[in-house]
A = this chain, B = another copy of it.
Amino acid sequence: MIRFECDYAEGAHPLIMQALVETNMEQTPGYSTDEYCGKAREYIKKACGSEDISVEFMVGGTQANATVISACLRPHQGVLCPISAHINTHETGAIEACGHKVLTLASDDGKVKVEQLEAAWNEHVNDANREHVVQPGMVFISQPTEIGTLYSLKELTEISEFCRKSGLIFYIDGARLGYALGAPENDASLKDITKLTDVFYIGGTKVGALFGEAVVIPNKEIQKDFRYHMKQHGGLMAKGRLLGIQFKTLFEDSLYYDISKQAVAYALRIKEAFAKCNVQMLVDSPTNQQFPILHKSQMEKLAEKYSFTFWERIDENYSCVRFCISWAAKEEQIQALEKDILDICK
């Protein structure tokens, strides 16, 4: 069985394992105050083009989202996001458990439009009884989205301008940020994102690390006391250097970008294979996740050799499934899948 069901089926990039093993018996102070974390911060600040940002390391995405959102919002505020947002669907109510309503906006392509945000905001501020309603306090998006689509630099800029004008926090969940940065059609760099947002995170778990997400905080207000929030959420790792060593390795040279770019290139080959067979896709994804709509007979045959994720039922005969091509995918796995797609779906 070759697994394309997710981008966390393997461990870490071998260079990361090597770094962890080499440093294993060193003694360092705890809680991300060690030199490895220091180096990782330095490299990430450079990649983000700013010395004025904070960089903190957390173990996973749900924890990062809950910590950031809880640190940013006051109790009467909620977070605007597309209905497909991970915080709305797959975090077991972690945001509500921190006291905040998730304010969902309709979305077909996993993205939210600035016009929707403006409409929601205007509806709130123009409501005579607005104190009876949760106040939007943040805009949450993912780059890439849950279904692999990308915001353009123009779209991100518009959302950022809207947020600044309206006093909302702009937060990007970058669980798969590498696969956005590695996509040929992407035009929003890490430096752009740093300029446009108040806070975002660079995903490691799904992009080469054993685990870990680097929370980047351009906004000074959010920087303040952020580590208290991390600790309260169980997110201040005792052996913080484990995170530092990993992000140091990913950002020392171009490893984070290289492995992401390779995974996207592989995914686009799979996309191309489905296109050759005239298989319809749920959405035109330029990143590492592809969502073909398959006949049940095609699904069955592909499932003999590959694991992939059931996404949603389309009709009696057809369903959408997800192929998720990670940093760990190998040329021979991709070749095999390409060939089988052409054999089975043509």
- List residues of A whose CB falls within 8 A of some B CB: 1-3, 5-6, 8-12, 14, 17, 20-21, 23-31, 59-64, 66-67, 70-71, 74-76, 78, 89-94, 96-102, 129-135, 205-206, 210-211, 225, 227-239, 242, 328
Contact = CB atoms under 8 A, between A and B. Distances in A.
A165 to B, nearest CB: 18
Among A2, A6, A239, max chain B CB count under 10 A is at A239
Contacts of A233: 63, 94, 97, 233-234
Given A9-B27, A9-B28, A91 B239 contact: no
A75 B90 contact: no
Contact of A231 (B99, B132, B238): B132
Contact of A232 (B25, B27, B70, B92): B92
Contact of A92 (B94, B231, B238): B231
A93 B9 CA distance: 35
Given A131-B227, A232-B92, A239-B205, A29 B9 contact: yes
Contacts of A8: 30, 238-239
B30 A238 contact: no
Given A21-B17, A24-B14, A129-B90, A232 B63 contact: no
A76 B10 contact: no
Contacts of A237: 59-60, 211
Contact of A24 (B17, B31, B59, B70): B17
Contacts of A76: 92-93, 225, 228-229, 231-232
A328 B25 contact: yes
A225 B93 contact: no
Top 7 nearest A-B pairs (CB, nearest first) are A63-B234, A76-B228, A11-B24, A9-B27, A92-B232, A3-B27, A93-B134
Given A9-B29, A59-B59, A76-B92, A238 B205 contact: yes
Nearest to A333: B27
Among A14, A30, A67, A232, max chain B CB count under 10 A is at A232
B24 A92 contact: no
Contacts of A60: 59, 234, 237-238
Contacts of A96: 78, 96, 99-101, 134
A12 B20 CA distance: 10
A71 B62 contact: no
Contacts of A236: 62, 131-132
